[in-house]
Structure 1
């Protein structure tokens, strides 16, 4: 993303602004379930915890804990960021196999 207010460096190219991450008000949440919906103006991500421990149950009980709403541009950047992070993860630790056809799969 180019910043129109960025000052050019000695070569004439705009400098990338420094990002300062302020984690003083950060909170942590854990989720093992994620879902998403969208409208034209926003993408909503739902995070929760599956509390059903028996995989043979006919119903799964998920407690939703967080809802994050972003615009479509931020959602696209999130997809690109997560794709990169997962590619690095699989390079270090091996591929993540998600067999969505087998509900009894034991992926964490």
Structure 2
């Protein structure tokens, strides 16, 4: 049995999903993350974009802040190895 300071990651029920689109909304009580896949090819100025939503993750604001902190660290390491990511293009 793990001691009080360790975490045991149990993967038996874990599912893996691909997402290339994410959207976020929040209220005072929760932060919602929506994940999906862009299914639109050959986008023109007049056509819209179709996104198949696959997952919604609901976090408390505290858990969202922890995610923001950890994700920021991972992305800083990634960009240090592979170069800056341009999210504006």
Taking structure 1 as the reference length, what is the TM-score of the superposition? 0.75
Structure 1 gaps, min length 5:
1-15, 100-104
Larger relative contact order, structure 1 or 2 (CA cutoff 8 Å, min sep 6): 2
Aligned counterpart for 1:37 among listed residues 18, 25, 43:
25
Q: How does 1:1-108 map to 2 (within 5 A)?
A: 17-56=5-44, 58-99=47-88, 105=89
Where is the helix percentage greater, Structure 1 or Structure 2? 2
Structure 2 gaps, min length 5:
none
Number of equivalenced pairs: 86
Runs of 4+ in 1 over 3 A off after TM superposition: none
Between the aligned partners of 1:43 and 1:56, the Cα distance in structure 2 is 32
Give the deviation of 1:22 after TM superposition.
Answer: 0.6
Between the aligned partners of 1:97 and 1:39, the Cα distance in structure 2 is 28
Larger radius of gyration: 1
